Structure 1
Amino acid sequence: MINKQIIDTSSSEEQHNHSIVNASEDSATLSSTINTTEGETEPLLGEYQVEPSSSGLFLCSKLRARYAIAIWAFFGFFCLYAMRVNLSVAIVAMVAPQSALNQSIQACPTVEKNSTKPAPKYEFDWDPSKEGIILGAFFYGYLTTQVIGGNLAEKFGAKWIFGGGIFIASILTLLTPLAARIHYTLLIAIRVIIGMASGPAFPSAAVLWGKWVPSSERSTVPPAAQTGTSIGIIFTTPLVSIMTENGFIGGWPSAFYVFGMTSCIWFICWCFFGFNSPNQHPRISNKERLFLSKHIPPRPSKHRVTPWKKIACCPPVYGLAIMHVCYTYIYYTLLTSLPTYFATILNFNLQQNGFIFALPYFVQFLTTIIVGQIVDRLRARKTFSITTLRKTQTIIGTVGTCGFLVAIGYMGCNQFRAVLCCILAVGFLGLQTCGAIISHLDIASNYAGTLVGITNTLATIPGFVGPYVVGAITKNNQTIEAWRLIFNISAGIGAFGSLAYCILFNGEEQRWNRIEHENDTNGPTNT
């Protein structure tokens, strides 16, 4: 008769299960590896007492390897978004405002203040339509590399796909001021290529999470790492404003020099501390490696055929795609256009603009972290199904976001109320950031890179459509009524996406995600 042993395989990771794992015939091997004796259990925080090795030069030696990977990915996303949004703020200092004589202005009155500062000098005289094309150019390139980036990450590993794209974008960011001064078409070309280089980031990160993050942490760790995007916005916008107003490295060009160089430094660190999987990490503890191998579904062979037909016939994928497109329409429209709204309608100066623009994304960061923790706890207790949790997050987030978007247009010239509505509208997006937007991992973690590539490709379209719509509506018409229409359109699109998601999405793992025998209906295991 086989004696039963009590094993605590990974302490804090499994405390949410509230169960004791009984030993099987293989227990002896695990027990000797984990160093637990029969009848004993480790303390709840025993996982932190790992082997004396480091997950990274600048990180605590006792930090779990998967969290170290997430932290480096966080800084990667920080750099990615710093290079994406710097133009949205810098363009306010680059381009001369359109003459009031050529516009139907009914915006808020300006309070005249005595100032010893010289009048700002603008280098360019692009009209709003041209600005819209320049701001949207990034997304023309971003559209083209999503699916292929995710697929390559699944086949060859996410480390170099994720890091290499950010490195290429950093070099091109350093060249942006030169391109703008030569001709605006060259600036558009540079932004298109930066978009192409940035495209694989989210799909390849999804592959990374599929190999590093157990299902019990998927509402917390991936969203937390990806809040690097929000933190990138929070730091970039006020910093660009300060550097521009104080003439640092020539004023507005500093927005591109500083963050381009920062991203190059990040890439050097990623080369040493980023790893495709636990099996490739030279410093991960045996305990964490065993925990991850047990709690992460086995992945298919790198040569396994992607089940394209099954993906194309999967209703949850369609629900995800529609939701993703509608979410990003709101997100990208606000991301590229709020600085213009703050400057032309609410009359904030450049420095005020940068700080105020950062506030909504700080609230989104907090919302994502807090709600992600709550959802993971509810998921661990199995109080609600993952489908119920994801749909509830989506409904609450959509009602909040769309409601406050509509409200912005009716705040008139009241700066405080208008900014508060902007903050709350973006803050409620955080519920979707840690919900619907990471649902790819719920339904098919083995093909998350491909799924994110598909939905993110479609979701890139609003990136250039949104700024174009804003430019078309506000051309010679920078009025409260014009911006009210912009916010109402965004709210309507967001509501439609939420409805489609709630109808089509099911959070259960799809059968075609599972690894089966060679005669699996998905096809052969090699190409």
Structure 2
Amino acid sequence: MMHRLFRLSAFWSSMNSAVEHQNEEHTPLLQKQAGKHSVPPKCCSVRSNLAFMMFLGFAVVYGLRVNLSVAMVAMVNATNGQPTSNGSEEKECPAPSGPSNTSHQNPDQPDGVPQYSWDPETQGMLLGAFFFGYLFTQIPGGYLSGRFGGSIFLGGGVLGTAVLTLLTPLAAQLGPSWLFALRALEGFGEGVTFPAQMAMWACWAPPLERARLTTFSGAGSNFGAFVALPLTGFICNSLGWPAVFYCFGGAGCLWAVLWFILVSDEPRTHRRISDQEKDYIINSIGSEGGSHGWSVPLLPMLLSVPLWAIIITQMCANWSYYTLLTSLPTYMDTVLHFDLRQNSFLSALPYLGAWLFSILSGVLADSLLEREILSITTVRKIFTLVGLLLPAGFLFAVGFTGCSSTLAVTFLTVSTTIGGISAAGVFMNQIDIAPRYAGMLLGITNTFGTIPGVLAPIAVGHLAKNRSLVGWRNVFCLSAGVSAIGALVFTLFGSGRIQRWAVREHGTDADREH
């Protein structure tokens, strides 16, 4: 039986490689169009500057997204207390004795800074409000970005979210319902940013630079989380929690001004791009880049196996991501008993490694394609498999570290760091299979990918409700298992070739062979 499965797997791999070679040999990427046109320097080029501006923008975006998670500790007074473990103390790690054990205490706020008596249910509602708005604008944002260009939607999304963030102290003073509505509107504004990014790279990223440009710009999200978490704690302790929202909101407004001055939708309309770089980008991308019309092939998209492979895999990958993003500070606090400053720094540490590895993965992926060592499909599958399966193993190990804070922090950091490798895999696969519709496809996949952001915290609350080691072990094992499933799905059903329904109607015969 195993021998037969091995032969079937080998046959599938050989057929897949043959099909990929047959289809990818007609793409601009493997035609080596860069060899026909002089390649302008990457350093200080307009496309590299665009990637840097996007990097800063997504750092701001994630700062605007996660600041409430830390600021909530300072916004809520200390009279609510913490629920006991209901007799499960023997399963918890012992807390350090002495005055240093301040993990459950609210930081002192300057005179005149209000604090609120919000119960845990209200706090959870406010922290989850962002995702309610975030769900609704992913697909419309991707569609409109692909039709009209992504710069106005990416810049407008950040600017709108930043302006609303400035109103957070006022909304909190008016009541939790007002703050909930404000956070939902912030999510509504941010929902268009990632689809708009992908729509812009469909016009700006030469195929041989696609992975490094896309992963570098998207890595701003991990960098933003790494900076925002400890910075928010520092500002809360030094200036009071309202200053957090004024600082982050002001930074977002400043970035938006620079964005609208420096950026355009495509190379043809950029005022400062050289003719050499413009011709290189346009000729490298070919006829499949640019914007799409009003109509989109919805039914072929719905029936596309590679698209569903992306959707399922991103949902599985985001389950562990959102589990750590929303619940890691709680684990650090209630199980490992780190104080507030240690908690904010250690919760942010994994995102530093993910930021570095995501950038390196993009460079490596492009290098493999440029040297024609592997096909696009193989590259995407390898980076997805490594970026999901290895982190799953380390997450599984976290559940068995017991009370060893050193091992737990090490495994969590290594898991998230290696997970950054998947940035050059499934998380940029939309632009491979349908460059014209990349923005809309990312909107679709991000909409499904946001569902774990709603469900994962609920699952954590159920599994770890007694704050026991066994409960948190189940949390980490569940996340590991879901990630492994995602790796398997993409390995079996993912693809890197342009789909038939994504080819322009007036394309050449070679294009239609895709």
TM over 0.5: yes
Instruction: Tell me which amino acid in the other structure corresponds to 1:508.
Output: R
Distance 1:18 1:282, change over 3 A: closer
Runs of 4+ in structure 1 off by over 6 angstroms are 115-119
From 47, 53, 57, give the equivalent of 2:40. 47
Does the Cα contact within 8 Å between 1:129 and 1:471 map onto a contact in 2?
no
Work out whether residues 316 and 506 of structure 1, in 8 Å CA contact, stay in contact via their aligned partners in 2. Answer: yes
Answer whether contact 2:361 2:424 (CA < 8 A) is retained. yes
**1:400 counterpart residue number:** 390
Q: Partners in 2 of 1:405 and 1:382 — Cα distance?
A: 34
Partner of 2:483 in structure 1? 494
Q: Is the 8 A contact 1:136 1:465 kept in 2?
A: no
| Larger helix share, 1 or 2 | 2
Residues 173-184 of structure 1 mapped to structure 2, 5 A cutoff: 173-184=165-176
CA distance in 1, matches of 2:75, 2:461: 17
Amino acid at match of 1:89: V
Residue type of the alignment partner of 1:411: T
* Other-structure match for 2:242: 253
Could you tell me the percent identity over the aligned residues?
38
Map 1:98-177 to 2 at 5 A: 98-101=81-84, 103=86, 104-105=88-89, 106-114=91-99, 120=107, 123-177=115-169
Distance in 2, matches of 1:304 and 1:101, equals 57
**For the residues of structure 2 that align with 1:441 and 1:431, how far apart are their CA atoms?**
17
1:290 to 2:279 alignment: yes
Query: Based on CA coordinates, which of the two structures has the bigger radius of gyration?
Result: 1
In structure 1, what residue type is equivalent to 2:468?
T
1:240 to 226, 232, 253: 232
Alignment of 1:474-513 (within 5 A): 474-475=464-465, 477-513=466-502
Q: Are positions 1:411 and 2:401 aligned together?
A: yes
Q: Which residue of 1 aligns with 2:348?
A: 358
Distance verdict in 2 for CA 1:275–1:220, change over 3 Å:
same
How far the C-alpha of 1:100 sits from its partner, in A, is 4.8
Per-residue CA shift, 1:243-276, capped at 9, x if unaligned? Answer: 2223x1xx22222221111101111111101210
Alignment of 1:316 with 2:309, yes or no, is no
Q: Does the CA contact (< 8 Å) of 2:141 and 2:196 recur in 1?
A: yes
- After superposition, the Cα gap between the structure-2 partners of 1:269 and 1:501, relative to the gap in structure 1 and judged at 3 Å, is same
TM-aligned CA deviation for residue 119 of structure 1: 6.8
**Distance change (3 Å), C-alpha of 1:494 and 1:129:** farther
| Alpha-carbon shift at residue 438 of structure 1 (Å) | 0.5
1:20 deviates by: 5.5
In structure 2, the CA distance between the partners of 1:348 and 1:115, relative to structure 1 (3 Å rule), is: closer
Moved more, 312-321 or 326-335: 326-335
Matched-pair contact (CA < 8 Å) for 2:108–2:237:
no
User: What SS is found at the alignment partner of 1:392?
Assistant: helix
Task: Go from structure 1 to structure 2 and tell me whether the alpha carbon gap of 1:465 and 1:380 turns closer, same or farther (over 3 Å shift).
Answer: same
* 1:316-351 deviation line (CA, Å, top 9, x unaligned): 000001011111111112111111211221111111
Contact 1:134–1:188 at 8 Å: present in 2 too? yes
- Paired position in structure 2 for 1:63: 44
SS of 1:218's partner is: helix
How far does the alpha carbon of each residue in 1:6-49 deviate from its partner, in whole angstroms, 9 at most, with x for none? Answer: xxxxxxxx9x959954xxxxxxxx8xxx8xxxxxxxxxxx8349
Say what the alpha-carbon RMSD is for the aligned residues.
Answer: 2.7
- Retained in 1: the 8 A contact 2:464–2:475? no
Structure 1 residue matching 2:40: 3-state secondary structure: helix
The 1-side partners of 2:225 and 2:127 are apart by 16
Choose from 385, 393, 398 the match for 2:375.
Answer: 385
- CA 1:129 to 1:436, structure 2 compared with 1: closer, same or farther past 3 Å? same
Between stretches 92-101 and 147-156, larger displacement belongs to 92-101
- Partners in 2 of 1:180 and 1:102 — Cα distance? 30
| Whole-angstrom distance in 2 between the partners of 1:119 and 1:159 | 41
Q: How many angstroms does 1:209 deviate by?
A: 0.5
- CA 167–495 in structure 1, closer or farther in 2 if over 3 Å, else same: same
Q: Note the C-alpha offset of 1:501.
A: 1.4
Q: 2:92 aligns to what SS in structure 1?
A: coil
Q: Distance in 2 between matches of 1:484 and 1:126?
A: 29
User: Contact conserved, 1:69 with 1:275, CA < 8 A, in 2?
Assistant: no
User: Per the alignment, do residues 450 and 114 of structure 1 end up closer, same or farther by CA in structure 2, a change over 3 Å counting?
Assistant: closer
Partners of 1:129 and 1:468 within 8 A in 2: no
**3-state secondary structure, aligned to 2:208:** helix
Report the Cα distance in structure 2 between the residues aligned to 1:153 and 1:225, rounded to whole angstroms: 17
Query: How do residues 185-224 of structure 1 correspond to structure 2 at under 5 angstroms?
Result: 185-224=177-216
Report how far residue 74 of structure 1 moved.
0.9
1:416-468 deviations in whole A, cap 9, x for unaligned? 11111110111121111221110001111111011001111111111111222
**CA–CA distance in structure 2, aligned partners of residues 510 and 347 of structure 1:** 51
Q: In the alignment, what sits opposite 2:14?
A: none
Residue 335 of structure 2 contacts residue 467 of structure 2 at CA under 8 Å; is this kept in 1? yes
Find the aligned partners of 1:167 and 1:196 in 2 and give their Cα distance: 12
Aligned equivalent of 2:338: 348
Q: CA separation in 2, counterparts of 1:409 and 1:366?
A: 25
* Alignment correspondent of 2:26: none
Change over 3 Å in CA distance of 1:510–1:93 after alignment to 2: same
Q: Distance in 1 between matches of 2:347 and 2:82?
A: 24
Tell me the CA shift for residue 116 of structure 1: 13
Aligned AA (1:68): N
Deviations along 1:88-147, whole A, 9 cap, x unmatched? 222233344743547444432222344699974593444444433322221111110000
Partner of 1:375: 365
Cα deviation, 1:168-227, whole Å, max 9, x if unaligned, reads: 111111122232333223222211111111001111100010000011111111110111
Say if 1:127 and 1:495 are closer, same or farther in 2 by CA, change over 3 A: farther
- 2:434 maps to a residue whose letter is A
Q: Secondary structure at the match of 2:123?
A: helix
The aligned residue for residue 72 of structure 1 is 53
Aligned 8 A contact 1:77 1:226 in 2: yes
Aligned amino acid, residue 284 of structure 2: H
Q: CA deviation at 1:510?
A: 1.1
Matched residues in 2 for 1:489 and 1:136: separation?
Answer: 21
Matches within 5 A, 1:2-41: 21=36
2:319 corresponds to which letter in structure 1? Y
Change (3 A) 1:229 1:266: same
Residues 212, 366 of structure 2: 8 Å contact kept: yes
Aligned to 1:39: none
2:34–2:280: 8 Å Cα contact kept in structure 1? no
Match of 1:37 in 2: none
The one-letter code of the counterpart of 2:369 is: R
Q: Confirm whether residue 516 of structure 1 aligns to residue 495 of structure 2.
A: no
Normalised TM-score (structure 2): 0.85
Alignment partner of 2:211: what SS?
coil
Specify every segment of 5 or more residues in structure 1 that has no aligned partner in the other structure, as ranges.
1-13, 22-29, 35-45, 50-61, 521-527
Contact persistence 2:129–2:181 (CA under 8 A): yes
